[in-house]
C-alpha cells in the first residue's frame, strides 16, 4: 500500500482505470454497460469522506450494494476510485468517459449510470449531461435516481434526447414526486406484492424501469435473507413515509423543548 508522504496516511485509490464502463452479471446478460459508484457514504484511504447517495433515506438500511460482492475489497476499491475521480478529477474523468463512449462497441447499446451510487453533485450531473449530448445518437443512457430536486432543476427542463430516468423511492425527496405522473420505482417484498399494487414488474428486464408503458415500476426485493428480514412486509416507500413521520415528530419535540426552555 502506498503512503501519502506528507501525512503518512495511505493514499486514496486515484489511479485512472483503462476503462470506466463495466458490466455486472445481471446487466451483461442484457448487453447493458454500467458506471458504478460505491453505495451510500464512506471514507477514502486518506481519511477524507464521501457521500455517493445524498438522496438516500430508508433505502440505505436495505441496500443490496452495501452487502455481498459489492463489498469485496477489489470491487469496493474500484467503485471508490470512480467516486474519487468524479469528486476530485472531474474534468479528466469527463474527458476519458466522453472518449470511451465514442467507441463502436457502445453503438446501439444502453449505458446505465450507477448500479450503485447516485448523482452526488450538480457538477457531476452536469458532466454526464454534456457527455450524453456529445455521444453518438444511438448510444442510450438511463438511470434510477433519488436526486429528485437536482433532476427537477438540471435535467427536466431540457433532457438529452438519448437519456431516460426513473425516480426511485426510499429517499429523502420521495415527497417531491407525484406518483401518478412521475416515472418511479418502488421495492416490494415480492412479485405478488408488485402485482397487487398494480405496478409493472421489472424482473424480466432492467430496461423496463424506463421503457414500461406504466410509469409505476415494481422491483421485487433482492433475495438476500438479512435484507428480506429487515424489509418485512413493507415497501421502500412505506418505510420512507414512516421515517419522514418519525423525523417530523422529533423536530416537533425539539422545537417544543426549545420553546419550553425559552419560556
User: Least separation, in Å, of the C-beta of 255 and ligand SF4?
Assistant: 29
Is 56 a binding residue for ligand SF4 by CB under 6 A? The answer is yes
Is 76 a binding residue for ligand SF4 by CB under 6 A? The answer is no
**Residue 3 Ramachandran class (φ > 0 left, ψ -120 to 50 alpha, else beta):** beta
Is 120 a binding residue for ligand SF4 by CB under 6 A? The answer is no
Among 80, 118, 173, 174, binds ligand SF4 (CB under 6 A): 118
Residues 152-181 interacting with ligand SF4 (rule: CB under 6 A): none
Q: Considering the complex, state which of residue 45 and residue 146 has its C-beta at the smaller distance from ligand SF4.
A: 146
Strand partners, 171: 56
Q: Which stretch binds ligand SF4 (CB under 6 A): 51-59, 94-102, 127-135, 225-233?
A: 51-59
Q: Which three cell numbers stand for residue 263?
A: 419560556
Strand partners, 217: 185, 200
With 0-12 CB in 10 A as exposed, 13-18 as middle and 19+ as buried, what is 204?
A: exposed
Tell me how far apart the alpha carbons of residues 138 and 145 are, in angstroms, rounded to a whole number: 23
Tell me how far apart the alpha carbons of residues 239 and 20 are, in angstroms, rounded to a whole number: 34
Q: Which stretch binds ligand SF4 (CB under 6 A): 110-118, 132-140, 156-164, 172-180?
A: 110-118
The position carrying cell 433519488 is 146
For residue 118, CA distances in Å to 134, 153, 166 come to: 21, 16, 12
Is 221 a binding residue for ligand SF4 by CB under 6 A? The answer is no
Pairing of strands 163-168, 140-145: parallel
Is 146 a binding residue for ligand SF4 by CB under 6 A? The answer is yes
- Within 8 A by CB and 6+ apart from 200, the residues are 194, 208, 212, 213, 214, 216, 217, 218
Q: Considering the complex, state which of residue 139 and residue 183 has its C-beta at the smaller distance from ligand SF4.
A: 183
Q: How many residues are there in the chain?
A: 263
Q: Which stretch binds ligand SF4 (CB under 6 A): 11-19, 59-67, 97-105, 154-162?
A: 59-67
Among 34, 82, 86, 116, binds ligand SF4 (CB under 6 A): 116
Q: Which of 110, 97, 95 is nearest to 37 (CA)?
A: 97
User: Least separation, in Å, of the C-beta of 225 and ligand SF4?
Assistant: 18
Q: Which of 184, 90, 94, 188 is nearest to 145 (CA)?
A: 184
Is 117 a binding residue for ligand SF4 by CB under 6 A? The answer is yes
Tell me how far apart the alpha carbons of residues 228 and 232 are, in angstroms, rounded to a whole number: 6
Among 39, 131, 219, 221, binds ligand SF4 (CB under 6 A): 39
User: Least separation, in Å, of the C-beta of 41 and ligand SF4?
Assistant: 9
Q: Which stretch binds ligand SF4 (CB under 6 A): 85-93, 112-120, 130-138, 240-248?
A: 112-120
Residues that bind ligand SF4 (CB under 6 A): 39-40, 53, 56, 59-60, 63, 65, 116-118, 146
Amino acid at each position: 500500500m502506498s503512503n501519502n508522504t506528507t501525512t503518512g496516511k495511505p493514499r486514496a485509490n486515484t489511479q485512472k482505470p483503462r476503462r470506466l464502463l463495466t458490466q455486472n452479471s445481471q446487466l451483461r446478460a442484457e448487453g447493458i454497460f454500467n458506471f458504478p459508484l460505491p453505495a451510500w457514504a464512506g471514507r477514502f484511504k486518506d481519511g477524507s469522506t464521501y457521500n455517493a447517495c445524498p438522496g438516500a433515506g430508508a433505502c440505505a438500511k436495505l441496500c443490496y450494494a452495501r452487502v455481498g460482492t459489492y463489498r469485496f475489497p477489489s470491487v469496493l476499491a474500484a467503485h471508490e476510485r470512480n467516486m474519487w475521480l468524479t469528486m476530485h478529477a472531474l474534468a479528466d474523468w469527463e474527458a476519458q468517459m466522453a472518449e470511451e463512449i465514442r467507441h463502436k462497441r457502445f453503438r446501439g447499446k444502453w449505458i446505465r449510470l450507477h448500479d450503485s451510487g447516485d448523482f452526488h453533485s450538480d457538477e457531476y450531473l452536469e458532466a454526464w449531461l454534456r457527455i450524453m449530448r456529445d455521444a453518438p445518437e444511438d448510444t442510450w443512457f438511463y438511470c434510477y435516481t433519488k436526486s429528485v430536486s437536482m433532476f427537477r432543476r438540471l435535467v427536466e427542463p431540457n433532457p438529452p434526447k438519448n437519456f431516460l430516468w426513473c425516480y426511485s423511492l426510499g429517499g429523502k425527496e420521495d415527497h417531491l414526486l407525484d406518483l401518478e405522473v412521475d416515472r418511479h420505482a418502488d421495492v416490494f417484498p415480492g412479485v405478488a406484492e408488485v402485482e397487487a399494487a398494480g405496478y409493472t414488474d421489472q424482473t424480466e428486464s432492467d430496461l423496463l424501469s424506463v421503457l414500461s408503458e406504466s410509469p409505476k415500476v415494481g422491483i421485487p426485493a433482492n433475495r438476500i435473507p438479512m435484507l428480506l428480514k429487515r424489509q418485512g412486509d413493507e415497501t421502500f416507500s412505506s418505510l420512507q413515509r414512516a421515517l419522514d413521520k418519525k423525523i417530523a415528530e422529533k423536530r416537533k419535540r425539539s422545537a417544543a423543548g426549545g420553546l419550553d426552555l425559552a419560556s
